[in-house]
Every structure is written in C-alpha cells, then in structure tokens.
A and B are shown apart, each in its own frame.
Chain A
Amino acid sequence: MASSHPPTSNSNIPDYEYLDVNTKPFHVGSFRNEWLNRLKPSDYSYQRDDDDTFDANFMKEMGVGAETMAELKSICRQRKKRQDHRANQKMSKNRHDLYADELERLIVGRKPESTADIIPEGEIVLTINVYYPITSERINTSRPHMSLLMTGSHSLAELRDAICCVSDLQVCGEFSNTPDLAPDFISKDLFKSSFFFFEGVFYNDMRFPECQDISKTTIEWAKARNYPAFTQAKMEDTRFMDLTIKVGFPYLYCHQGDCEHLVIITDIRLAHKSDCLDKKLYPLLIRKDRLLTQKCTVCHLFIGRWFTTNDQYAPSDPCLFCDKCFRALHYDAAGNKLGEFLAYPYVDQGAFN
C-alpha cells in the first residue's frame, strides 16, 4: 500500500465536525455502499458458521497446517462461564429498568413469519431520538421522549406516523353543553400537515388532501431576508437512504402548526443478526419515557379527562376531573347541565404510557 499519496477526504466516510458532538453531513446510501465495498458478504450476513467450518476455512485461507490449527484452537478456547447461575438472579427492582428491559427482550432476534418481511442483509439501521416539545420549563430537554429504530428503506412518512405526541390528541373547543360530542374533533384528524427539516430541506407530508404546505411561510421569510435558499420535498417519497444528514445533529419535526420536536439521529450502522429482523415491526420503539400522569381531584384514581374553569362546584380554578366524577358532579341523572362552568377535554401528557 503506497504510503506516500495523501489520503483523499472521502465525504462518504463520516467524520466529526465537532469532536464528540456531531458529524459532517454525509449521504446515507453512499455510506452503506462504502461499507459493503469493504466487507465480504459473510461478514454481515445473518448466518453464523459453526466452529468446525470456521476452522476449516481459516486453515484454507491462511495455509496453516492441521497441527498448528489444533494448537491455535486449544489456546484460544474460552473458559466456560462458571457464574452461569448469577445471570438468573433477580437483577433489580427498578420499575424503569424493568420496562426498558421488557422492550428489549421483545425486540431481540425477532424473526418474521414470512421470509418476504425479513430485513435484507446489508441494510442500514438508524437510531433516532425524538425529544419533547418545549411547552413548559419542567420539560427536561436532554432526555429523549422516545427512541426509535428505522431502516434505510423506510420513508419519512412512516417515522412521522410513529411519533406520538399528546398535542395530536388535543380537542379544541368548549364542551360543557355537549360533553358527549367531544371525541369527534381530534386534532390529529383535523390538522394533518407536518414537516421534517433536514439540512436545509423541508420534507412535507402531502399524503392527504387536507395537508397544506406549512413550510412555505418559512421559506418565503428566509428568501426575503437573504438567508441561503431552502428547498422542499415530499415526506412520503423520501427514504432514509436518500438523505444527506449529520449524525448527532438536531433537526426539526413540526406538526399541528406550532408543536415542534427536536429529532436527533444518534447512530447509523449495518443490520445485524441479533436485531429484530421483522420489517413489519419497524419503526421499532426501543425506549419510551414514562411521564407522571395527573389524576382526578376527586377520586385520585383515574386520569383526568376534563378540565374546568369558572366552575362554582370545583375546589380550585382550573380543576381536573375524570370522566365519572365530572359527570356525577356537573350533570344530573338526565344529563342536564347544572350550574355555570366551562369544560374542556383534557389529554394528559402521560397518555401514551
């Protein structure tokens, strides 16, 4: 190998832009090709040779005699684990660990029922962290709301569908007079527009006729103020393989007009035998933050579903009620409204637990 020629900087090989913080932008599909060019198919396949086949192959490749082989094997064999029983001990009583562990156990090594659904060897797997929207100071910005695994062949629209945010479930409007009509007006069905923003390109969701291009305003604003031009693309047509992104750099997901989430891609790698190999299960949730839920002021048992203000019956203003207590307090047996109050349907932040 000639050591004299200077190493050409290949932009498809990821490298740090800022050390330990994020990388320079690179194209995901080209990165995958770089790896596949350097590896033998057996390196990244899901099949594993048993020991004898491995030894035979090694002997053939290296031209090693049988005696040397036997010596190598005896030297490099692993001691059997004496502490096998320790693995069965109860590790911890920590509730969060148990939930996280359960998610992991469900994921590892899942194979699909039909071979058509298996993730092909050499496929890219991305780990994506989605963070909370900044709605209050109590939100911890450094802790991700959820972590997902996606493959390179999935589209951005599938990622969008997998992100659960409580603002999607909000119901707008005052419903003290018609408490039974509330569930018909979920925001997710009304306001379907959303976009992702990666590296200067807005990827809009245009799947439904109600979707509007909400990135247009930002693009026009930027043009008027002499910023570098942003472009647009369709979310459902773009796969992860086609993106040029930086690893570890925050990007944006915006929906409901003003609910903005940070999205960070933390890791990109080739698919492995011990990953979940069922394509249908992706986007795969590997970590989900559980939030404390607010309970009803009356019974402290059920999660609050109604939010009242200016209520003469309520101990505080505003006040939270579960469905049963709300109806018991504010409506008579026939369903008529008693007294003056304003009621709004409330979606708790821990609704996805």
Chain B
Amino acid sequence: MPRFQSVYCDFFYTPLTEDVEQLLARFQQTDSVRYEVFSAVWREMGFSDVFHGVTRVGELKRFCRVTLATALKYFLPPYSYQIRVGGLYLMFAFYHTQLAAPPVKIRVPLRDWAQVQKFLKDSVDSGHMDVLYIYQKLVSIKAIHYTAMPHFLSFQKQRKPKKEPVCADFIGRTTAIQELTSSDMLEELTNIQNQYEKLKQATAEVSSQVNMTHRDLSTRLQKCMSEFLTWQQKTYSGNQKNKKSGDDDEEEEEEEEETPAEASSSRARLLSSIKQKSYKNVQEASKSRRHRQAEAVESSSSGPEHVQEAAQQKKRPVSLRARTTKNLPMTDENITQIWHLSAPDEQAMIRKRSFN
C-alpha cells in the first residue's frame, strides 16, 4: 500500500475549536440565550463555510463527525448555562448545514445523559422555550445516535496526550454556595443547634462533659460562605470590571457608585438572571439591554483575548503591510495578489475582510 495519506481533519481540529470558541464568545457577549441572536452571530461569521473545501467524501464525513463532537463538548458541563445553550444551537446548526449525505448523526453517550436531562429541566424551569424546541426538534428528526462512548475507539494510544485548555471564560461558576445561602438550611441549622444546647442544659449531669458540636458552627459556616462568594466574584468578574470603565451610559453611572466588588458582581448577576428570564418577557427587555450592552462593549479597552478579538476587529495592531503602504506611496495597480493556501495569515485575513 502506498504511503499513508495525511488526514485532513487531524490538522483542522484546532483551528475549528478556535473558530467555535470565537463564535461562542460573541454569543456570550450578547448576554442572551435566544436562538435568533445565535443565528445572527452565525450568519455574520458565515460559519456554514467550514464544510466547504473538503474534497474527499470519507474526509468530509470524518470532518462532520469532528464538528458535531466539538459542538457536543460545549453542550456538556463544566461550561456555563449560556455556553451550553450555545453548544446546543451549534449542534443544531452543524447538523443542518453539513454537506454529508446521508447526514452524520450526533453521538450522545450514556454517561452524559443525566447532565442533558438536568440541563433540560433547568430550561423548563426558566421557561426558555426555544432551547427546548431546538432540542426536541433534534430528537424528532432522529439526529441523535444513542451510543456507549462519544468517539470510535480502536486502541490507538496517543504518543503525546493532548491536553485541551478549557476556555476559562466559558466555565460555569459553581452555584452550589449561592444555593446553600438561599436555602433555609442555615436557619434550620441554628435552630437545631439552639435546641441541642437547651436539651443539654436540661440534663445537668451531661451538659458540662459532652460537647458534640461546635458552639458557633452556623456563624462560622456563614462567614466561610460569604468569603467564598466574594472571592469568586472578585476572581472571575474582576476582568469584566475593566470593560465597563469610562462610560457615560446610565448603566455605568450606577455601577461606578457601587463599590468595586459589587460592580464586578453585576456580570455574575446578569448571568444568573438569564436563567430566570422567561421567553415571553425577553422580547422587550433584551432589545434594550442589547442596545446598552453593545455600547458598553465598544468602548472597552482591555479584557481577555477572545472577547477582545471578537469585539474590536478594528483595533488590532496595524500590520506591517498596512504600515508600509501607508508610509511609502503605492498605487493599487502595482499590488500583486499572493494567495496563501495554508492556514490564513494576517494579510489574507484583512484582504478577505475587505472583499466581504
């Protein structure tokens, strides 16, 4: 047999992940979980083009499998609710825009089923009808294969196990502590503690000798929880805080009055409030919010890399080519076009954008 031909999809998995993360970052920025918002971002990025350019049918099928597996990855924990919704919409979009015929199906392994059901339950509780509609649609058009494992396994050992860095901005914050504070458990704990103390006092011979619990358990617990909450908000919303500085918007004024810790928690509050937004109410609220949010985004100066790239295409450092053409007088007729067939570099990206 002749030499082993290089497999297309092996080379293009990482760039696909980058593109998908860019799409999801833009979606995350809109602070919405509506399908229309997602499809607007998809159409703007022209994402259906990922399937073009694969010549061989076997490669195309393999690539479609890779895209669907990537989308499924973002549909499952540890990502935040919004990213998981984005993953679901992405699966739907990839399934319908793929060029393979018959269409490649989405492989859902058994061990992730509980997570999927929990996600759906959360969506039902929050009243996100379009999330449920999209999911039910996928099930009804038989787009899902119910499998044992997510990928085909053939005992191929990886020489260098690739550790994929999980995008930190996408990960859902643990809400366990918040749920604990909101539940009445602490009150109950204090009550039981008091009861215990009373009973102990009543039995005189035991009271001094035996002590089963710490006396100030509930206060210490509360202190620990609030410490954790402030740490969480500070660490994960700290970088979001910089985005909202220097703005004349109403929203900004309110935030500037607050203390820094509270200002940075506004994003966390936004995300948690998304869960409570029901479908009908969002029609008016999201439009106005979107308008205000867009303004906040445009004026940001720093922030994580993904978000920055997505938000400001214009503010990238000026390329060498651009600087040269600016400094030296050059007419358009003299510029020869160099088409790069390999992974696009900056010049090709800029030229492509100018044609679009």
Contact = CB atoms under 8 A, between A and B. Distances in A.
A264 interface: yes
Interface in A94-110: 94, 97, 100-101, 108-109
A266 B105 CA distance: 17
A266 B154 contact: yes
7 contacts: A13-B110, A20-B151, A23-B149, A68-B280, A91-B60, A267-B148, A272-B142
A92 B110 contact: no
B140 A269 contact: no
Contact of A142 (B34, B56, B142, B156): B156
Given A92-B55, A140-B1, A72 B130 contact: yes
Interface string B37-53: 00100000000000000
A14 B111 contact: yes
Interface string A165-177: 0000000000000
Contacts of B149: 14, 16, 23, 247-248, 267
A22 B153 contact: yes
Contacts of A31: 110, 148
Given A13-B110, A87-B99, A268-B147, A75 B280 contact: no
A5 to B, nearest CB: 13
Interface string A255-284: 000000000101111101110000000000
Given A75-B36, A76-B133, A140-B1, A269 B146 contact: yes
B58 A97 contact: yes
A75 B89 CA distance: 12
B152 A14 contact: no
A54 B137 contact: yes
B99 A48 contact: no
Interface stretch (A33-41, A149-157, A293-301): A33-41
Ranked nearest first, the 7 interchain pairs of A and B with the lowest CB-CB distance are A248-B153, A269-B147, A268-B148, A14-B148, A270-B146, A266-B152, A92-B56
Contacts of B199: none
B321 interface: no
Contacts of B158: 20
Contacts of A328: none
A264 B154 contact: yes
Given A14-B110, A38-B113, A54-B137, A21 B147 contact: no
Contact of B145 (A87, A143, A272): A272
B279 interface: yes
Given A14-B149, A54-B140, A248-B149, A72 B129 contact: yes
B134 interface: yes
Contacts of A100: 57-58
Contacts of B129: 62, 64, 68, 72
Q: Which of B130, B137, B155 has the most CB of A within 10 A?
A: B155
A56 to B, nearest CB: 12
B49 to A, nearest CB: 10
B96 A274 contact: no
Interface string B232-276: 000000000000000000000000000000000000000000000
Given A35-B146, A274-B142, A21 B1 contact: no
Interface string A19-47: 11111001000010011001100111000
Interface string A74-98: 0110100101001100011010010
Contact of A250 (B97, B130, B155): B155
B338 interface: no
